[in-house]
Chain A
Amino acid sequence: MLNSPSYMHVPDGMLSPLTSLIMFLLVLPFWYKGARGLSKRVNARNVPLIALMAAFSFIVMMFNVPLPGGTSGHAVAGALVAIILGPGVATIAISIALVIQAIFFGDGGILQIGANCFNMAVVLPYVAYGIYSLISANSSVTSVRRVIGAALGGWVGLTVAALVTAVEFGLQPLLWHAADGTPLYAPYPLNVAIPAMVIPHLLVASVIEGLVGAAVVLYLQRANPAILQLFTKQTVATGTVAPGRLRLLWIGLLALIVATPLGLLAPGTAWGEWSADELSRMGLGIVPQGMSTMQGLWGAPLADYGIPALGNTSLGYVLSAVAGVGLIVVVSWLLSRLLAGMTRSQKPAVPALQESEQK
């Protein structure tokens, strides 16, 4: 759509047919899981519910949301739908919306339905929901943690989805080119595709995704809190996150940790994370004076993410990732305790309204 900064709908011709097929096979288990979860939880109601949620996702993708600074854009709304319906059902609803966009509105390729569904209907909702439920675990419906969770979930979720899309793009020139080296599909290698996709998302599109999620959760907390509890009743009732969901999150995190050495495959250094001598090697004649004087001030415990005693770079990377994740988990736990204390004193939980269930 016109002024969207989100380059998420992959058109036909961007990925090779074999990639499209693999992406399609990757989505299948998630479709199966989503459909199974549906028949277990909502029974025959699922037909109109899914139809309306898919239609809702479709419409919300057209909403124009302004950002501070004058730009505006669209949300994919995958994070929002995941927060309301849970990630499994969200996968089905968003996939249906994406298929209708591809077939009837020419938005996204038909052969790329698998890739687009994987990026926007699997990666985005699962990541967003994982972060949302981690931050908002044990919180009351009106807790500010739910708003923060929705915002962060949308922001990180869409950024990770953009990263996955960039990897799909970046693998194309490696795998498919003509005899003379002409790339046949998306032309840029990983070290160009990843920053080109991730940075704009980080700054614009993902911000919109987070804003939309947070704004809608904020509204629902005031006007219709029952919707926020529709599919996460057990979370609210027992006061704990369902262990299955949390386990899924940990598995995902573990996969990411194991995948960290992949970063070594990309040539060059992380964008914006240059050291002073890297800057001068890149041709920058003058290194900001502050940088050269401040550089030695802060010694990282695991400089360059390597553990010298191990001598193995990949292993060092993985261990650094484990240490980093552990640190983040501890900090988030402390933060959530703090926030829980704050919100508990404010308001009691709104009793779950059964209104929309009965109608």
Chain B
Amino acid sequence: MSENLTASSPSAGSMQAGLPAPVAGRRRNGVIERTLAELSHAMEHSLFSEDIARKPGLLQSLDPRVKLLSMLALLIAVGLSRSLLVIAGLYVITLVLAWRSAIPVGFFIKRVWLFLPFFTGVIALPALFLTPGPALLQLPLDLVVTRTGLMTALFLLLRVSTSVSMAALLTFTTPWIDVLKALGVLRMPEAVILIFGMTYRYIYLLLNTANDMFLSRKSRVVGRTTGADQRRMMGASAGVLLGKSMRLSSEVYLAMQSRGFRGHARMPGTASFSIRARDWVAVIVVAIVTVGAIWLGQ
């Protein structure tokens, strides 16, 4: 999968959740450990971003609706711009915003660039050699870096990293419930937002359930398991989790019904949001930057 902000170093993730650090390398029974590590990364990620979202900072003080629309506008600007310099400028802006919003800048850069190679890097690197164009650099083994290839690779890397950074700015500086409420600006139906909210909540419940399942399995397994055993085990775990989710959904439905749910949801409204002077300033600045980036980038 692609750049993933959840995946920090495996040991950091599992230590946070109080789990033994997964064993590195391809050990035969490393599958449980790796799954455990990933489950705990996801939990750690949300705890961490909720933490930053509650600190005082520049982006934290803006209305979530303004932030959401600004992010979309800037993402489109990054997508449409045809100049490396302009995209690089937009990337620098995300760094400044991170710095002013209590996000550790080193961490912010590392999160984005460390996981870029897994998708974009794999695509960008061969482009250096495969794109036809004037030769720029002669490497051993008859490899020639072309000028066009270098430009192509830079376009990809910069565009992807700037986009990932912008999306990360929103989630790092906004509590998730506010992001959900802000989705209402996009004319998303309330029932859909309700389902998103419930999904987000149940992801954490099921994360915990899956974590417990794998931890208990791990503690009962002594010695080595074969690949076939592990596949059977993963299949059974997924099956058990599916059964649990189904049962839970029926129970939740009954609970909702007994509390008066008749198919209509009333989300906690956007009443707590207020557009203040600083939000208007933000809207104007973003509009200028977006139009400027698209215009300069042609």
Using a CB–CB cutoff of 8 Å, the interface residues on chain A facing chain B are 1-4, 6-14, 16-17, 20, 43-45, 47-56, 58-68, 70, 72, 74, 77, 80, 84, 96-97, 99-100, 102-111, 178, 180-188, 192, 211-212, 214-216, 218-220, 223-224, 227, 230, 356-359
Contact = CB atoms under 8 A, between A and B. Distances in A.
25 contacts: A2-B38, A11-B163, A43-B263, A47-B198, A49-B249, A49-B253, A52-B206, A52-B246, A52-B249, A62-B42, A64-B234, A72-B31, A72-B34, A96-B195, A105-B42, A107-B4, A110-B71, A185-B156, A188-B123, A192-B130, A212-B234, A219-B232, A223-B239, A223-B243, A224-B243
Interface stretch (B98-106, B164-172, B272-280, B282-290): B164-172
B31 A13 contact: no
A178 B133 CA distance: 13
A16 B79 contact: yes
A1 B1 contact: yes
Contacts of B155: 182-185
B137 interface: no
B198 A216 contact: no
B17 interface: no
Q: Is the interface of B mostly helix, strand, loop or mixed?
A: helix
Nearest to B263: A44
* Nearest 6 pairs of A and B residues by beta carbon: A215-B235, A13-B159, A12-B163, A51-B198, A106-B5, A219-B239
Contacts of A227: 242-243, 246
Interface in B196-212: 196, 198-203, 205-207, 210
A109 B162 CA distance: 11
A53 to B, nearest CB: 7
Contacts of B62: none
B13 to A, nearest CB: 11
B99 to A, nearest CB: 19
B59 interface: no
B235 A219 contact: yes
Contacts of B230: 65-66
A65 B160 contact: no
Contacts of B251: 359
A64 B238 contact: no
B11 interface: no
B248 interface: yes
Contact of A59 (B31, B123, B203): B203
B250 A103 contact: no
Contacts of B295: none
B256 A104 contact: no
Contact of B227 (A43, A48, A66, A184): A66
Contact of A184 (B38, B82, B232): B82
A9 B263 CA distance: 33
B199 A187 contact: no
Given A99-B196, A110-B72, A11 B164 contact: yes
Contacts of A111: 72, 75-76, 79, 163
A65 B231 CA distance: 6
B206 A59 contact: yes
Interface string B131-160: 101000000000000001001100110111
Given A58-B203, A96-B196, 18 more contacts: A1-B6, A9-B2, A11-B160, A12-B159, A48-B198, A55-B245, A56-B245, A62-B210, A63-B35, A72-B34, A77-B238, A97-B199, A100-B199, A105-B42, A215-B232, A223-B236, A224-B239, A358-B250
Contact of A103 (B171, B203, B263): B171
B215 interface: no
B127 A188 contact: yes
B160 A13 contact: yes
A16 B81 CA distance: 10
Contacts of A45: 249-250, 253
Contacts of A7: 1-2, 119, 122
A3 to B, nearest CB: 7
Contact of A84 (B242, B250, B265): B242
A103 B2 contact: no
